[in-house]
Structure formats: C-alpha cells, structure tokens
Amino acid sequence: MNTYRSAAAAADEDITVPSFAVIPGGQVRHALEGREKEVVEVVEAAYRLHTDGLTVNPPSSFLRFPDRATSRMIALPASLGGEAPVDGLKWISSFPANVRSGVPRASAVLILNDPRTGYPFACLESSIISATRTAASAVSAARALSRDRPRPTRVGFFGTGLIARYIHTFLEGTGWPSDAIGLYDVSPESTAGFRLYVEQSGCAAPVTVHHSPEDLIRTSDLLVFATVAGEPHVEEPAWFDHNPVVLHVSLRDLAPQVLLASTNIVDDVEHCLRAGTSPHLTERLTGSRDFVHGTLDDVTAGRVTVPADRPAVFSPFGLGVLDLAVGGFVYDRVARAGELRTVDGFFHELSRYG
C-alpha cells in the first residue's frame, strides 16, 4: 500500500486538530525498559520500510559554532510510512564539554507530526530514544554480521559513555552471550563508572580495563566504538587480524586503511558517506564506493553475505526514521496506559477569520 497516497486521500475526510502531548524522560524510559527484543524488531521493521521506499529521510542538518568547535546541534527530519505513518523531527545537541561538569553530553527532543494535518501531536524527551534506537540498531547488526561465523562472546567497549551503556543493556536484554567484557577509554573516571554499572547490572562476565587501544581490540571479537572522536585515531589493520565484528557506532574512529581491509556494512550509503565519517574519508581516498558491500537490511534479508575471513564493520549514520519508529512505539504505549500529559489549548488560532 502506498502510505503517502493514503494519507493524501485522507485529507478530503473530516479532520480535527490533534491534542498536543509532552512525554518526559521518565515516561520514555518506563515505556522502553525491559523491552529490548521488541525495540529491535521495531528498528528492523523501520529499516525494511526504508529499503522499500516507504520513508523520507533527508540529509541531517548540522548547526556548528565558530566559538565552540567541539559542539554541534543536528536536525533530523523524517517521514515513516507503513501501517502507522508518522512524520517528525529529532533535534539533538552534542556538547562534549558538559561531561566535565557531570552533565550528559547529548540532549534531544523528538517532535511527532500527524501526517494528515501536519500538526505536531507530541514532544518527547529524546536522548533516551536516540540512545535506544542506536543500541537496537547495533545489536541487530551484531546478530546479522555474525550469522556466518561463531558468535563473538568477548565484547570490547572502546568508549564507555551513555551509548556504550545502552548497547551493553541491549546485548544483555536480547540474550547475547558474553564470556568477557573489555573496556578502554581515555577517561579513567568513565571507565570506572562503566565497570561499576556492568558489575551491578547482574552481568556474570568478568570485566577487564585495558590500558591501550591495541590490547582492547586484539582481545575482543565483538568491538563497540562509542566515542566522540572527530577524526580517525585507529590506523593499524593488523590489530584486526582476528577478524572481529566491529560496531563502528561513532563513525569517525577507524582510518580508511582499516575499512579497506574489512567488509563494510552501513545503514544507508548516501547518508553514511558524508560529513567526514570514516567511510566518507575512504571514498575520498579511493574515489570509489566499492569498499561498501551493502546495508544492514541487505544482510538481514540475505541479499548480502558477510564472510568470516575478514573483519566485519558496521558504520551506521543514524537515520531519523528510526527515531520516529521508536518514538511512535513510546507514544503508543503511554497513550494505551492512559498516561498522556496533554497541553490544553496549545494550538490557539484555529479559525481562519478569528
């Protein structure tokens, strides 16, 4: 079914202005907590809709600041089709200096719009949604990329912030077996905090703190890169000679020579090969996109096979349609529980002539 044609046809029907709800972080977390398997299914369904052309996902817009070089804000507009169509926008900021004051680096809101009227009907706290869709995508990739090799059980986290924590939670919540967990971060405080979180989470795997990137990489067969790196800093293909599965979530850690020695899977080719990501730098170096072997949905659907005799790298740019899918999941759960907090009279000018 053409979702957008159906939405356009509905414009001729009687329509009303939707109420406007605000869903704070506590409600978002409650709606998602313990539902890791369901959320992975939601994310995979969104990827299928994207492959089938039932989404609109324009390039993200970056707001940067001359006086704050490490900070940025990003707008991700998107439209998701399917049985429950929704439009919207994620507005997310990244201010790494916050961490020094004990404040999270990222903050975000997600606006959901009614596809029949265009009116926004909800504003959701979205740092949790963003971390959740990132973790669900990463776990889906770990599963797909290890399909034709022994499932990796030595998990290494390169970067130990919030995104790493969510990915660990999703690995545990989807039953991923782990025999050992390795950690590396340039901040000893972050590493100590993450180690305490893992040990208190009930995870039985022993935790090792590594003091060099090489040690972590060589001793892990599932690697999670979740840093705030702005340019590649891991340059040795030989460190990956044991052919690990690599979840390159932070996108800018690996030098082109590492990608050229690997099988490369992305979430969307056009989106991933831009904005100075490692795949973008590799394209600039080689003048070709031949090093990209396919998308995650290609692998999940069996259109692309990932060989076991090379490192397998997943580099996700992060699609706005995933935020809409997870945000819609949260909204539906809160609405069904009768817990929506609506703002009366939010839309005031509802008559054309007063």
The whole-number pLDDT of residue 3 equals: 36
Q: Under 8 Å CB-to-CB from 342, ≥6 apart: which residues? A: 19, 20, 21, 22
> Domains of the chain, with CATH numbers?
3-129+321-336 (3.30.1780.10), 133-315 (3.40.50.720)
DSSP lists the bridge partners of residue 93 as 73, 107
Beta strand segments in 288-343, E: 292-295, 312-315
The whole-number pLDDT of residue 96 equals: 86
Buried b (16+ CB within 10 A) or exposed e, 148-171: ebeebebbbbbbbbbbbbbbbbbb
> What residue has token string 């490192």?
311
In whole angstroms, give the CA distance from residue 65 to residue 267.
Answer: 28
The whole-number pLDDT of residue 76 equals: 95
The whole-number pLDDT of residue 106 equals: 87
pLDDT, averaged per 10 consecutive residues of the chain (354 residues), comes to 40 77 98 98 97 95 92 95 96 90 91 96 97 98 96 96 96 95 95 95 94 97 95 97 98 98 97 95 97 97 96 96 98 97 91 80
In whole angstroms, give the CA distance from residue 352 to residue 203.
Answer: 59
Query: Structure pTM?
Result: 0.92
